[in-house]
Structure 1
Amino acid sequence: MSLSNPLPFKERVEQALNDPFLRQSLKNAQARFREGKQKAGQALGNLEEWRTRAEAIRRHTIEHLDYYLDLFATNVEKNGGTVFFAETEQEAVEYLIRLAKEKQAQTVIKSKSMVSEETHVNHRLEEIGVEAIESDLGEYIIQLAKEMPSHIIAPAIHKNRKQIAQLFSAVAGEELPEDTSALTRFARHQLRDKFLNADIGISGCNFAVAETGSIVLVSNEGNARLTTTLPKTHVVMMGMERIVPTWEDLDAVLSLLPRSATGQKITSYVTALTGPRRENDQDGSEEMHVIIVDNGRSNALGTDYQSILHCIRCGACLNVCPVYRHIGGHAYGSVYPGPIGAVLTPVLKGFDEWEELPYASSLCGACTEACPVKIPLHDMLIDLRRDEVGQKRSPWIERLAFRLFGAAVKYPALYRLGLKMAKYLLRPQAGEEGFLNKGLGPLKAWTQARDFPAPAPESFREWWERQGRHGGEPHGR
């Protein structure tokens, strides 16, 4: 994957808007996912009760995160596993590199893991001469393309068959047909060898069950089971918030995850792993290492943004977001795109490189309505904008404009003068239909995509003073 997108945010957006295939693909995928989610929710029945229960479980877990992390770690070690708490991305990767060197690893096979994307594991392993191979088909495609995921659950949603055939042909050393079955068959053939010969398997973690120290993985391809059972060493990379207290709690959130993500009642594979292989087990890794990653998550604890840690990574917010539909995942520049990324990334990393993300939203509230654990995403986006203004990160001209507006509404005479000036300044900019389509200064970017009505020839206040208070009617009636 690419470690970062070198283009500025506005240029990334412009690039996406000029990609008709991307926009059509996202539109089709959103429609398909939304329809599936709606049907699956209806089949579940009292969906709101399920959402309320899941939200309560996630809230309780995060409020007592230290207790459940300690319980989980204790149980993992009782089961024969090893736990490492990584405060930073650097600590997580360094532990993995030490382990790879200790095992004299040459190859690593990986199942889907957003945390490994977040910590740039592939790149860092390659630096020490270890080949890291993604085994999820979508992740494998974007790895070959040296890109980040474009969607949380469908990482290669932005690629068409022609592009995929070109990527696979480069690996094959011959031209492959643009046929889905042939391309899938090629990927299966390539990866089978990697599964059998990998020294280390790395997986993510959908949920970690505190009461037993178990890891739960959700997938549709079966690659997670091969990744976690064939190599002698299994490494789990999990965000510290991925805990559920009990198996009963898991039932609630696991019932909502696939329904919210793809519209499935359940995915093809749900795998639960409790420690490494035991004496009488037929398969499984000989060692299990669980790397529990903070990497900024503790920034949210005790703040207005704490509930962002409730997220179960279903991608439902992406599937309803009108902004994501038009610009796709890469425009966000972060591993986590869409509304969840627009909140999570600044919380994890701060505003220095991500101050545009809270503004990549229409604030329509669709993301909050779609979230299976009721995270108030659009409220958080507003709060992040407030924080940016409080830190004086908004452009100076914007701050000046609002300062002037504040002064204008405070003094009636100044307000009336401003209305008169706006009328004379803006009306010449209006088109034949009476809308501004070439705004002045900062308004230019706004009027490129929106119609702004020009001020009326006579304001309401002017009409009222002239004849309205005496019973007259306004012009045009």
Structure 2
Amino acid sequence: MSTQYKTHQEGAKEFNKNPDRVTWHDKALWFVREKRDISAHSIPEWEELREIASQVKAHSLSHLNKYLEQFEENAKANGVHVHWAKDAAEHNQIVHSILEKHKVKNVVKSKSMLTEECGLNPFLNDRGIEVVDTDLGERIVQLANEHPSHIVLPAIHKKKEEVGELFHEHLNTEKGASDPTYLTRAARTHLREKFLNADAAITGVNFAVAETGGFVVCTNEGNVDMGANLAPVHIACMGIEKLIPKVEHLGVFLRLLARSATGQAITTYSSHFHRPAEGKELHIVLVDNGRTEQLGREDFRKSLNCIRCGACMNTCPIYRRSGGHSYTYTIPGPIGAILSPGKDLKKHSSLPFASTLCGSCSDVCPVKIDIHTQLYKWRQLVMKETNYEKSKQVGMKFAGKAMGSPSLFNLMGKVGNIFLKGPRAFIYNGLNAWGIDRELPVPTETFDDWFKKNEKKNDK
């Protein structure tokens, strides 16, 4: 699989070794952000929709036990098999037991960040079951033996030439071919065979409705419909936070999701499932895996509002310039940085610091998650409860005292100016983390001198 870095800084440094990749990755994601803005601004009631969605989520999460029981009751009445999983291990065992019961050897799977979170693919592969991801981007990273680098655009980090080489190796396409249309057709032919021979289909869930017991899966490729309608067994894997109370709420979330994710008015396919087709089985696995624990954290429970649109990633200057694989958690970007510490504070301690705290992520979030505020609060907990970079902890304490004392702050500035005039080899040594990858020019004047000079001009 793709390299698992110990810290975000380590992964970001590796990603930035290729400046060209950084540039086009940054531009590609900003283009998606601009499409989102155009689409959102075309709806006068956009902010009202965000507020409604935020309130519906807050209500759902506050009454989650009630709506989960209602959903289970209605789903069972529709002929759906409902399963409960407390964690990733239990989720994987449940899915495997269903597949084992039906002697399944070939599975087609649509995009599902929950199954990525639970490590389902390798779990099933180790037990002799072939799992083929049928979303084109997911299939690309699967063939490359990598994790998705984005929750909506899983192969955004790869150029078409790299995809061409990958398809030549695995799908026998022409060597050197990189035309997107040609490669897409090759993938379609390859996946059609997988669909026709599948014994079961596994999908994610975008939204589940308590009052009907049904659920919705949104795609742009139709792979969910192909898999679920051709295979005799359909297993839907769902985090318990995906639940909303009523059908009337769906319209709000569907309008927000597509526009926030890709700038589309709506996804090409919004597939609704309520009951199994005749002669087939439909299962849904309701997964906790730390969600109720996060729900109990007052400062962080709003993170469960997330509808996995990826808008926070597309706007984040850190994510755009460091890539999704630099993050130590399944879900990268700002939203991953506030979900991951709740899973393992020590392991993911670097992620809350992978942010400028500019607030752009919170501004574009369709369900109004206060992402940058939560990042700041996680930083406080990291510093308090872990041994995160002792040198940084000491440095921050000293910086706090210096900034609280004008005389000490000015003294530090004067000392710093003296050092700046020293030999570059002395300044940019191994202890200077800011200067490891590049040198900064010596300023012509200090900010204090500039301010005093311009203050006098303004007084005149």
- TM over 0.5, yes or no? yes
Q: Is 2:173–2:186's contact at 8 Å kept on the other side of the alignment?
A: no
CA distance in 2, matches of 1:397, 1:277: 61
Q: Is 1:430–1:454's contact at 8 Å kept on the other side of the alignment?
A: no
Paired amino acid for 1:363: L
1:269 aligns with 2:287: no
CA distance in 2, matches of 1:218, 1:193: 23
Q: Is 1:203–1:224's contact at 8 Å kept on the other side of the alignment?
A: yes
CA distance in 1, matches of 2:131, 2:20: 30
Structure 1 pair 259–403 and aligned structure 2 pair: CA distance change class (3 A) = closer
CA distance in 1, matches of 2:395, 2:349: 20
Identity percentage of aligned residues: 37
Paired amino acid for 2:187: A
Deviations 1:69-124 (A, max 9, x none): 11111111111111111111000001111122111111000011111111111111
Paired amino acid for 1:195: F
Q: Is 1:429–1:439's contact at 8 Å kept on the other side of the alignment?
A: no
Deviations 1:209-233 (A, max 9, x none): 1111111011110101011111111
1:219 aligns with 2:219: yes
CA distance in 1, matches of 2:402, 2:41: 52
CA distance in 2, matches of 1:71, 1:428: 69
Q: Is 1:52–1:374's contact at 8 Å kept on the other side of the alignment?
A: yes
CA distance in 2, matches of 1:12, 1:354: 13
Name the counterpart of 2:283: 289
Name the counterpart of 1:321: 316
User: Once structures 1 and 2 are overlaid, which stretch shifts more, 139-148 or 383-392?
Assistant: 383-392
1:150 aligns with 2:163: no
Alignment partner of 1:317: what SS?
A: helix
CA distance in 1, matches of 2:163, 2:400: 54
Report the structure number with the largest CA radius of gyration.
1
CA distance in 2, matches of 1:330, 1:458: 40
User: What is the Cα deviation at residue 417 of structure 1?
Assistant: 6.5
1:242 aligns with 2:233: no
Name the counterpart of 2:200: 200
Deviations 1:429-460 (A, max 9, x none): 2149xx99936886542685767879979999
Q: Relative contact order: is structure 1 or structure 2 higher (C-alpha 8 Å, sep ≥ 6)?
A: 2
Paired amino acid for 1:386: Q
The aligned runs of 1:281-430 (5 Å cut-off) are 286-303=280-297, 304-347=299-342, 349-404=343-398, 416=407, 420=411, 423-424=414-415, 426-430=416-420
Q: Is 1:93–1:119's contact at 8 Å kept on the other side of the alignment?
A: yes
Q: Is 2:109–2:131's contact at 8 Å kept on the other side of the alignment?
A: yes
Name the counterpart of 1:111: 110
1:129 aligns with 2:128: yes
Q: Is 2:428–2:439's contact at 8 Å kept on the other side of the alignment?
A: no
Structure 1 pair 319–48 and aligned structure 2 pair: CA distance change class (3 A) = same
Structure 1 pair 106–446 and aligned structure 2 pair: CA distance change class (3 A) = same
Deviations 1:348-381 (A, max 9, x none): x121211000000000000000001110000000
Gaps spanning 5+ residues in structure 1: where?
279-284, 464-472
User: What is the Cα deviation at residue 389 of structure 1?
Assistant: 1.5
CA distance in 1, matches of 2:403, 2:257: 48
User: What is the Cα deviation at residue 30 of structure 1?
Assistant: 2.3
Structure 1 pair 441–294 and aligned structure 2 pair: CA distance change class (3 A) = same
Structure 1 pair 39–286 and aligned structure 2 pair: CA distance change class (3 A) = same
TM-score for the superposition, normalised by structure 2: 0.90
CA distance in 2, matches of 1:263, 1:457: 41
Deviations 1:288-342 (A, max 9, x none): 1111111111121132100000011111111111111101111113221111111
Alignment partner of 2:195: what SS?
A: helix
Q: Is 1:436–1:451's contact at 8 Å kept on the other side of the alignment?
A: no
Name the counterpart of 2:255: 255
Structure 1 pair 398–247 and aligned structure 2 pair: CA distance change class (3 A) = same
Q: Is 2:7–2:348's contact at 8 Å kept on the other side of the alignment?
A: no
User: What is the Cα deviation at residue 193 of structure 1?
Assistant: 1.1
TM-score for the superposition, normalised by structure 1: 0.87
